Structure 1
Amino acid sequence: MTKQIRVAVAGASGRMGREVVKMVIDEADFELAAASARSTGPVDAGTFVGKPVSGVTFSSTLEEALDSGPVDVVVDFSVPQVVYDHAVAAITRGVRPVIGATGLSPEQIEELDRLCKERGIGGLIAPNFSIGAILMMQFAAQASKYFPHLEIIEYHGDQKLDAPSGTSIKTAELISQVRGELRQGNPDEEETIEGSRGGYYNGFRIHSVRLPGVFAQQEVVFGAFGQSLKIRHDSYDRAGYMPGVAVAVRKVMTYEGMIYGFEHIMD
């Protein structure tokens, strides 16, 4: 019988955290080992998300959760302000972090990579765990070789704090790996309203739309003489990210070092 992977969930009472708890409970090779939530009190994590009693009570801090028993992997979709400290707390305990929050600096990622390698464990930072979104990014990067004129438009709900989204930044990074900097548009263009052309990245623009009722969508629009191409991905429910999270939990057990980007662990 395959050994179960013992999973802790940080920020387990949040919207993404609740979906992760459900997924961990449902996967036969996972065991819910711990969960942290700052404001729920000591309630059972399973019943909190509408599942049977799990035997795991919410801890008020991630450190307390990690110290409550053996843990192999921690999944963290909490806010950027605490995710770095969470990752350090996990790695120093020999726990592999799977991080869905954005906002980590290149220096922080490099430090987490060093810490993981020192402990001989793996880690993953992924701006997006949707397999469809990852394919959208890869297709966009491939298309940019032939359609170098492009713009990114991303849509999220009006309560999202960061702009542009981590997914759009990752898309831009992938495109820039295969497309040299190319300043697009009329060189004499002028914004009559500041910011109307969007954020500048390596010669192209990223536009962030924030509206109530919107979940998560992104499109990359390519233009060429006599034609255009649009590559778009739409997410409708947080459950759509969970197959990717499950893949990440299993994969992070097999390597050493911190990896940035879900595309690097796709077979």
Structure 2
Amino acid sequence: MTNVCFAGITGWTAAPIVAAIAASDDLTLTAGVSRSAAGQDIATVTSSNAGGSIYGTVAAALRSAPVDVVVDFTSATAVKTNVVTAIEAGIHVVVGSSGLTAADYAEIDRTARDRGVGVIAAGNFSVMAAVLLRAASMAAEHLEHWEVLDYASDQKPDVPSGTSRELAETMGSVHRPGTAIPLPDLHGPVEARGAEVAGTRIHSIRLPGFVVTTEVVFGGSGERLVMRHDPGSTADPYVAGTLLAIRRVADEPGLRRGLASLLYGDPDADR
């Protein structure tokens, strides 16, 4: 049985994942983390039959309950502290929160390897989003030019989204896209060209009505190819991928990025 601590237990993503953990035969929820609900039972707060109590911090949860895996769906401001706290305690981590930088991931990988701890971080735990990432990386092997559109709710403070950042970094590991007009040669504000991540221009759009929609546009002479993942208004798409990550996170030490790493293995092995 794998004991799970869910950080962000009162968040939008938690309810269906908590229910799936409670219904599984090999996972058990032993702790939750939420500053606003600290001291309450998980079952009461989540309206589920999950056991365990809620604590104000990951550190408090790890001191008080048996935990094998910490699942983090918190915020850009809390995620790094939570992840490092778990790793230093020798606990495996599944990271669903966005806001970590490439430098953060490099530090997390080093620390996790030193501690012999596994970490799986994904900008999006939807299987369809993982398929998009895989397809986009395959397309990048043959196409030269692309940009990414990153849509999210107007309440999402971090830009770009973890999904878009992961997509850009994955395609950038294949090769950097061809350059358009260099930024110094533009007429007008350079911000109009979006942010650069691993050579890819990402344009973050924040409007009501979106959750986390990701679109990559490939351009060629006389043609375009558009790939888009457009989730609905519930967190249901993220359940299967999160449970897969919980079950596989202890397989090897260090950081693995993206759900595609579990579905398809090392993308570099195919090239």
Deviations 1:24-64 (A, max 9, x none): 11222110111111012422212322213x33121122211
Return the alpha-carbon distance in structure 2 between the equivalents of residues 7 and 193 of structure 1: 47
Show the counterpart of 1:33.
30
Give the count of matched residue pairs.
Answer: 263
Show the counterpart of 2:12.
15
Cα RMSD (Å) of the superposition? 2.2
Show the counterpart of 1:130.
126
Show the counterpart of 2:111.
115
Larger deviation, residues 113-122 vs 237-246: 113-122
Q: What SS does the aligned partner of 1:31 have? A: strand
Show the counterpart of 1:261.
258
In the alignment, structure 1 residue 233 sits paired with structure 2 residue 247:
no
Larger deviation, residues 118-127 vs 151-160: 118-127
In the alignment, structure 1 residue 171 sits paired with structure 2 residue 167:
yes
Q: CA deviation at 1:69?
A: 2.3
Q: CA deviation at 1:203?
A: 5.3
Residues 202 and 245 of structure 1: is their aligned pair in 2 closer, same or farther, counting only changes over 3 Å? Answer: closer
Larger deviation, residues 118-127 vs 245-254: 118-127
Larger deviation, residues 73-82 vs 119-128: 119-128
Residues 198 and 180 of structure 1: is their aligned pair in 2 closer, same or farther, counting only changes over 3 Å? Answer: closer
Which aligned segments of 4 or more residues in structure 1 are displaced greater than 4 angstroms? 185-189, 201-204
Q: Which amino acid aligns with 2:223?
A: Q
Return the alpha-carbon distance in structure 1 between the equivalents of residues 109 and 201 of structure 2: 30
Q: CA deviation at 1:155?
A: 0.9
Q: How does 1:12-161 map to 2 (within 5 A)?
A: 12-52=9-49, 54-161=50-157
Return the alpha-carbon distance in structure 2 between the equivalents of residues 37 and 176 of structure 1: 36
Q: Which amino acid aligns with 2:253?
A: E
Q: What SS does the aligned partner of 1:81 have? A: coil
Deviations 1:103-161 (A, max 9, x none): 22344333332332333221112211111111111211211232212221121110011
Return the alpha-carbon distance in structure 1 between the equivalents of residues 32 and 19 of structure 2: 12
Return the alpha-carbon distance in structure 1 between the equivalents of residues 183 and 85 of structure 2: 49
Which consecutive residues of structure 2, in runs of 5 or more, have no partner in the other structure?
Answer: 265-271
Return the alpha-carbon distance in structure 2 between the equivalents of residues 9 and 226 of structure 1: 49
Show the counterpart of 2:268.
none
Return the alpha-carbon distance in structure 1 between the equivalents of residues 255 and 3 of structure 2: 19
Larger deviation, residues 135-144 vs 39-48: 39-48
Q: CA deviation at 1:6?
A: 0.7
Return the alpha-carbon distance in structure 2 between the equivalents of residues 60 and 204 of structure 1: 38
Contact 2:4 2:31 in 1 (8 A): yes
TM-score in terms of structure 1 length: 0.89
Residues 121 and 238 of structure 1: is their aligned pair in 2 closer, same or farther, counting only changes over 3 Å? Answer: same
Return the alpha-carbon distance in structure 2 between the equivalents of residues 218 and 145 of structure 1: 20
Contact 2:122 2:166 in 1 (8 A): no
Show the counterpart of 1:224.
220
Show the counterpart of 1:248.
245
Return the alpha-carbon distance in structure 1 between the equivalents of residues 168 and 216 of structure 2: 10
